[in-house]
Amino acid sequence: MVDIGAKQATRRVAVAVASVHFPAPVVAILQAKGLRSAKGPVLDTAIIAGTLAVKRTHELIPFCHPLPIENCRFDMDFVSATELVIRCEVAITHKTGVEMEALTGASIAALTVYDMCKALSHEIVIGEIRLLDKRGGKRTVKAGRVQP
Active-site positions read: 115
Give the whole-angstrom CA distance, residue 86 versus residue 66.
24
For residue 102, count CB atoms less than 10 angstroms from its CB and return exposed for 0-12, middle for 13-18, buried for 19 or more.
buried
Q: Which residues contact 105 (CB under 8 A, 6 or more apart)?
A: 16, 50, 51, 53, 54, 57, 72, 74, 88, 90
* Other CB atoms within 10 Å distance of the CB of residue 49: 19
By DSSP bridging, strand 125-135 and strand 140-142 are antiparallel
Give the whole-angstrom CA distance, residue 114 versus residue 34.
16
Coil, strand or helix at 131: strand
